[in-house]
Amino acid sequence: MSTTSDAGAPARFPREIPIQYGTALLVVVLVAAPLLPVLYQSLLDGPLYDRDVRLTLGNFVRLAHTDGFGLVLWNTFVLAALTTVVAQVFGTLAAILFGRTDIPGARVLGELFLWPLYLSALVLSFGWYTIYGPAGYVTLFWQSLFGDAPWNLYSLGGMAAIAGVSQAPLAYLYCLSSAGMTDPTLEEAARVSGAGTFTTLRRITLPLMLPAIAYSAVLNFTIGLELLSVPLIFGEPAGINVLTTFLFNVSATSPRPDHGLAATAAALMLVVICFLVWLQGRLLGNTRRFVTLGGKATRPRPFRLGGLRWPLFVGCVIYVVLTGIAPIAMLVLRAFTSFLSPMIPLADVLTLDNFTSLANEPIYARAVRNSFIVSLVGAAIATALVGLIALIVHRSEFRFRGALHYVALFPRAVPGVVAGIGFFYAFALIPGLGGIRNSIWVLVIAFTMRFIPAGLGAVAPMLLQVSPDLDRAARVQGADWWTTSRRIMAPLMRPALVACYTILFISFFKEYATAIFLFAPGSEVIGTALLQTWVQGEVGVVAALAAIQVIVIAVCVATARAIFGVKLHG
Amino acid sequence: MADLLIEGLVKRFGDVRAVDNLSLHVADGEFVTLLGPSGCGKSTTLAAVAGLDRPDEGRIIVGGKTYFDSARGIWLPPEARGCGLVFQTYALWPHMTVYDNVVFPLTLRKVSGADRKRRVAEVLALVEMEPYADRYPHQLSGGQQQRVALARTLVYQPAILLLDEPLSNLDAKLRDRARAWLAELRTRLGLTTIYVTHDQIEALSLSDRIVVMNAGRIAQVGPPQEIYERPADPFVADFIGTTNFLPARVAEVGAGSAVLELGDGQRVEVAAERPPAQGSRVTLAFRPEQMRAATAGEVSDGQGCVVETRVLSRSYVGGSWQVALDLGGGALRLETATPPAGDTARIWLPRSGGIVFQETAHVAG
Ligand SMILES: Nc1ncnc2c1ncn2[C@@H]1O[C@H](COP(=O)(O)OP(=O)(O)OP(=O)(O)O)[C@@H](O)[C@H]1O
Ligand SMILES: [Mg+2]
């Protein structure tokens, strides 16, 4: 070979500097945008966009003296606690039954059990309303047979049942991935030493699951506190207020907003959730740093249920049908009928009228279209951002990568309602944003901020599996960080990015809590339209919109699983 | 091509000094091997030269270009250095074919299309991988992957070539072949090369000089023969294949020789250029092939000494026997065609060839 060495790549401006600092700055702005205005507003005696406002602590005093605020806090706590109990009990039982026993159809049952996770609690609420509501299918059926139905969705218990069912999959997934589930040798040792099935379950499996139960309990409690849809639909009419509905009623969404009060309550909520998220981190750190969601594909020798096998199977089927399949099926059926009742034959009421009115009413058609644009385009933008963050955090020498990681994960501690209120202030505050303030891009920005952690959760584990030698090799050969990222890392990350895009698409598509504070005429999405039409009492249109959401998500989940084998929880 | 100068290199991981004040000069075209046990800092040194890790102190200069200088705050990112590094894992990009893998560095250097094709073909021919250009890495055997990794590095004619245990992922047979092939290639190319291994045969057969490392420091630097025949301390001796260490005390000192008393009172006379002080404790080291079973009636003479040993065990290793012996508290291993019959064996130790170490360092391993 010749002796002239062209080894040294020509010296050039380090491109990674602007890219890395730019990304970091973007993330910081994105995360700070809703938070700072909320904190600022909570200290002002008037709306923050007014000219003469003064700093004050009066809002805190006013909030403390607001009539019934104590009750609001109490309700919030009770609802979250009950929700957690319901979710943990069902989730843990399901994990043991579907994960460790010889119950028939465990795989299918497990899949069905997960479904509420993919849908929004909002849609599930409508589903429950259609069958367990005052004029619900099952309720009417029950009344015709036994008299008054013993349940009431318009109560803390009823709400906790819905929320609990919709959050049970989280408990299920975490328990499934706990040591008690994934390390069969531990319980085999117990069985060899003479412990029976139920002794082993009680003494070995369950205790080993405790860390997972504790972690998912805190997670579910947090989500229970942030929950808006269920209390809005069932709590409001019954006069049961929680923190989120309180916020909804005093913030910009109400005819007479009290910004000081709203921001103060939001700040309060932020502090509590921050603490809980911190607690989650501690619990996770104490047990195992990374919980692999989804469990193991191979199930070690399952427990024999013996004579209880079929009764338990029937019980599980009833649970899955009553809590998930029936409500959703009925909701979809309701979309194709004018009225649904056990007294009237189905053939008499079948119609496409709901969809026709949906198509003819510009607002609804626009909502569906906007939802698609926000989800398709927004998720793509967010995925690109998440991919970039993951690369900088895990695969660069960026000086502030640790801080960037922290900031990027911070939105976990920002409830949807708080993010909504915060972005509303942010866009009101910053001049020159008039153009996008009333467009769907506001939603894209807010949703992106909300779901960065979810996206990172999908990308980071897979990225960490890519050997660092692969990008180091490119660097040594003369590729700078950005070229390495584009030419080597991006293709290797493709499966992770597909998973990330799917998760973000679904999340964007069903999001409503943030949107409800931000949408304007023209920028409605399905989530906000659902709540609007619900308030107007147009149950048929609600059902039709919900049906669209359910079907799109179902198709999306099924395709992602079939084509890419993507795991969608995490 | 260029020479490499490392001065006072220090790399800490927390409290661990993975590389501890290492200085080394590698001449233009020289092939130097870093040899040492696992965790002694070989990869860390290599990573410092390639720019994958930023060291804490020291200087690295290649062909007059300063890669790193802690005093002047200079640190070049890896892409600005122009080193060639072959990873232990090969690190072939799984989403690219062999051709794409090899052409990548040329694309980065904006080499023109025709030139690019020619150079890739050339280098693939050099590593005898031309027919595999369209395959993906996972369709290649370990040895083939290693060649592609090497081709990908050679194609841009790096200033220096860094190889991190390139043969350790191959099975024993393939490894022998790959070693011979590498030795041939090395004489043909004459690149300045740093080669990392913990296999002494690779080190001895390939290198111009060997650097034996221990716990982040250099234990000895020298040509293979010198390292092998005159290890600087018991650690190097042990690492380079000397297995027999006998504790002893210096009983008498003569001109160019010394009489050592072993643990059980037997005495042996050995040649020593600079004999240690009388009465001091020393360690006498022999390689297995330097000793043999004494013939019947053989006695100590000017060539060597005959000593009595206790037989601990014997095992047949195919063609010969390996016998474990105890000599005054020191363990000896002897290779012999006929195993000793009884509980004791008389063996012959040469007068010169053994090495006397002052009893300061302890023997690792
Ligand atoms: N990233 C790191 N963080 C902490 N310690 C490290 C790191 N990399 C290496 N070390 C430590 O530095 C020391 C030297 O490691 P190095 O990889 O250089 O060893 P090596 O000589 O290449 O060993 P081997 O032959 O096993 O590859 C070891 O003690 C190792 O534990
Ligand atoms: Mg190494």
The residue to which tokens 């002897």 are assigned: B334
pLDDT band at A3 (very low <50, low <70, confident <90, very high): very low
The residue whose C-alpha atom lies closest to atom 20 belonging to ligand 1 is B39
Tokens of B19: 């590389």
First CA to last CA across chain B, in angstroms?
A: 38
How many C-beta neighbours within 10 Å does residue A353 have?
Answer: 14
For residue A310, give Cα distances in angstroms to A111, A325, A548.
19, 20, 36
Distance, CA of B111 to CA of A265 (rounded, Å): 63
CA of B52 from ligand 2 middle (Å) equals 13
pTM here? Answer: 0.83
**B339: pLDDT strictly greater than 90:** no
Least confident among A116-125, A259-268, A429-438, A479-488: A429-438
Nearest to B108 among A5, A478, A492 (CB): A478
Question: A229-249 burial, b for 16+ CB within 10 Å, e for fewer?
Answer: bbbbbbbbeeebbbbbbbbbb
What does the alpha-carbon distance between residue A181 and residue A169 come to, in Å, rounded to a whole number? Answer: 16
B80: nearest CB among A1, A9, A483? A9
Residue B10 has pLDDT above 80, yes or no: yes
> Which pLDDT belongs to residue A567?
56
Atom 11 (ligand 1): residue with closest C-alpha? B18
pLDDT at site A484: 94
Does position B127 have pLDDT exceeding 50, yes or no? yes
B197 lines ligand 1 (CB under 6 A): no
What is the pLDDT confidence band of residue A179, given thresholds at 50, 70 and 90?
Answer: low
Look at residue A300 in the predicted model and tell me its pLDDT.
57
Confirm or reject: Cβ of B214 under 6 Å from ligand 1.
no
Mean pLDDT value across residues A205-209: 78
Q: What is the pLDDT of residue A495?
A: 85
Rounded to 10 deg, the angle between the A539-559 and A494-510 helix axes is 170
Closest CA to ligand 1's atom 16: B41
Using alpha carbons, select from A558, A424, A450 the residue that is nearest to residue A511.
Answer: A450
pLDDT band at B193 (very low <50, low <70, confident <90, very high): very high
A400 CA: distance to closest CA in chain B (Å): 17
B44 contact A CB<8A: no
Q: Ligand 1 centre and the CA of A257: distance in Å?
A: 62
How far is B47 from A267, CA to CA, in rounded Å? 48
Q: Which secondary-structure segment (H or E) carries A239?
A: none
Residue A90, pLDDT score? 95
Element (H, E) at B218: strand B217-222
Contact A45, A56 (CB under 8 A): yes
More confident residue, A472 or A55: A472
Nearest CA to ligand 1 atom 25: B38
Residue nearest atom 30 in ligand 1 by C-alpha distance:
B39
The alpha-carbon radius of gyration of chain A (Å, integer) is: 25
Which pair of tokens denotes residue B27? 């001449």
For residue A479, give the chain B residue with the closest CA: B79
Residue type, position A456, single letter: L
Please tell me the distance from the alpha carbon of residue A309 to that of residue B365, in angstroms, as a whole number.
59
Confidence band (pLDDT; 50, 70, 90) for A568? low
In this structure, the number of other CB atoms found within 10 A of the CB of residue A47 comes to 16
B322 touches chain A (CB under 8 A): no
- Report d(CA B243, CA A123) in Å as an integer: 76
Q: For residue A114, how far is its CA from the centre of ligand 2 (angstroms)?
A: 45
Give me A449's structure tokens. 């901020």
pLDDT-wise least confident of A49-58, A116-125, A288-297: A288-297
Look at strands B4-13 and B304-316 and give their pairing: unpaired
Among A7-11, A104-108, B172-176, the range scoring the smallest mean pLDDT is A7-11
Q: Which of A502, A498, A491, A495 is nearest to A376 (CA)?
A: A502
Q: Rounded to 5 degrees, what angle do the CA atoms B95, B97, B102 make?
A: 110
Q: Rounded distance, CA B22 to CA B217, Å?
A: 6
Strand duo B267-271 + B257-262: pairing: antiparallel
The pLDDT of residue B196 is above 80: yes
Query: Could you tell me which of A459, A467, A460, A451 has the C-alpha nearest to residue A410?
Result: A451
Q: What is the mean pLDDT of chain A?
A: 84
Class of residue B317 by CB neighbours under 10 A (exposed 0-12, middle 13-18, buried 19+) = exposed
Of ligand 1's listed atoms, the one at least distance from the Cα of B46 is 18
pLDDT at B363 over 50: no
Instruction: Tell me how far apart the alpha carbons of residues B191 and A311 are, in angstroms, rounded to a whole number.
Output: 76
Chain B: residue whose CA lies nearest to A2: B157
Q: Is the CB of B363 under 6 A from ligand 1?
A: no
Is residue A157 within 8 Å of residue A367, measured between CB atoms?
no
Question: Are B42 and B213 in contact, with CB atoms under 8 Å apart?
Answer: yes
Judged by DSSP in three states, B353 sits in: coil
Q: How far is the CA of B16 from the centre of ligand 1 (A)?
A: 10
Give me the DSSP letters along A547-565: HHHHHHHHHHHHHIIIII-
DSSP H or E stretch at residue B97: none
- In this structure, what token pair is assigned to residue B221? 């630097």
Average pLDDT estimate for A93-116? 87
CA distances to A115, A363, B102, B128 from B147, in Å: 50, 64, 11, 8
- The 8-class DSSP code of residue A442 comes to H
A3-17, A135-149, B310-324: the lowest-pLDDT one = A3-17
Angle at A267 between CA A263 and CA A271, to 5 degrees: 170
Q: Is B346 helix (H, G, I), strand (E, B) or coil?
A: strand
The answer to whether the Cβ–Cβ distance between A478 and B65 falls below 8 Å is: no
- CA angle (A349 as vertex; A348, A352 as ends), nearest 5: 130
By mean pLDDT, which of A59-68, A125-134, A451-460, B206-215 is the weakest?
A59-68
Name the DSSP letter for residue A44. Answer: B
For residue A1, list chain B residues with Cβ-Cβ distance below 8 A: 154, 157, 189
Q: Does the C-beta of B39 come closer than 6 Å to ligand 1?
A: yes
- As a whole number of angstroms, the distance between CA A511 and CA A442 comes to 13
Q: What is the pLDDT of residue A8?
A: 42
Contacts of A450 (CB under 8 A, 6+ apart): A411, A414, A416, A419, A507, A511, A514
Contacts of A398 in chain B (CB under 8 A): none
The predicted pLDDT at position B120 comes to: 95
Nearest C-alpha in A relative to B79: A478
R_g (Cα) of chain B, nearest Å: 25
Residue A202: is its pLDDT beyond 60?
yes
Alpha carbons A387 and A19: distance in angstroms, whole number: 13
Q: Which residues pair with B356 in a beta bridge?
A: B284
Tell me: the pLDDT tens digits for A438-485? 788 999 999 999 999 989 988 888 888 888 899 999 999 999 999 999
pLDDT digits (tens, 9 = 90+) for A233-258: 998 888 899 999 988 888 877 777 88
- A509-534 pLDDT, tens digit per residue, is 989 889 988 888 888 899 999 988 88
Distance CA A337, CA A344 (A): 11
Q: In which order are the strands placed within the sheet that holds B74-75?
A: B16-26, B4-13, B57-62, B65-69, B74-75
Q: What is the mean pLDDT of residues A381-398?
A: 94
Which residue(s) pair with B60 in the sheet? B6, B68
CA–CA dist B291, B327 (Å, integer): 13
Position A119 scores a pLDDT of 86
Rounded to an integer, what distance in angstroms lies between the CA atom of residue A276 and that of residue A241? 22
CA dihedral of B22, B25, B28, B30, whole degrees rounded to 10: -70
How remote is the CA of residue A239 from the centroid of ligand 1, in Å?
Answer: 65
First-last CA distance in chain A: 53
Q: How far is CA A379 from CA A6, A116, A376, B353, in A?
A: 43, 21, 6, 74
